[in-house]
A = this chain, B = another copy of it.
Amino acid sequence: MSTENFWQEEDVGKRIGANLRQFRVNRGISMEALAKQIGVSKLTLIKIEHGEANPTLSVIWKIANGLNIPITTLLSIESEVSIARKKDGLKLISSDDVFIAEPLFRSHNLTELYRGYLQPGGEYVSEAHQPGVMEFITVMSGQLTVEVDGDTYHLEEYDSIRFKGDRLHKYVNPASSLTILHFVISYHNF
- Chain A residues at the B interface, C-beta cutoff of 8 Å: 1, 6-7, 12-13, 16, 19, 22-23, 26, 39, 53-58, 60-62, 65, 68-73, 75-86, 104-105, 107-111, 113, 115, 130-132, 134, 136, 138, 140-141, 148-149, 151, 153, 155-164, 180, 182, 184, 186-190
How far apart sit A131 and B159, CA to CA, in the bound complex (Å)?
30
How far apart sit A180 and B138, CA to CA, in the bound complex (Å)?
12
Residues of B within 8 Å of A104, CB to CB, are 160, 162
Instruction: Give this chain's copy count.
Output: 2
- Minimum-distance CB pairs A-B, first 5: A109-B190, A72-B188, A73-B132, A81-B163, A86-B158
A70 in contact with B187 given A12-B57, A78-B132, A159-B85 (CB within 8 Å): yes
Residues of B within 8 Å of A86, CB to CB, are 156-159
- 7 more contacts with CB within 8 A, not counting A55-B56, A79-B189, A184-B184, are A56-B56, A72-B110, A76-B188, A81-B151, A83-B153, A85-B155, A105-B162
> Is the pair A81, B162 in contact by a Cβ cutoff of 8 Å?
yes
How far apart sit A77 and B134, CA to CA, in the bound complex (Å)?
11
Residue of B nearest to A109 (CB): B190
A57 touches which of B13, B140, B141, B164 (Cβ 8 Å): B13
How far apart sit A115 and B155, CA to CA, in the bound complex (Å)?
15
How far apart sit A76 and B75, CA to CA, in the bound complex (Å)?
13
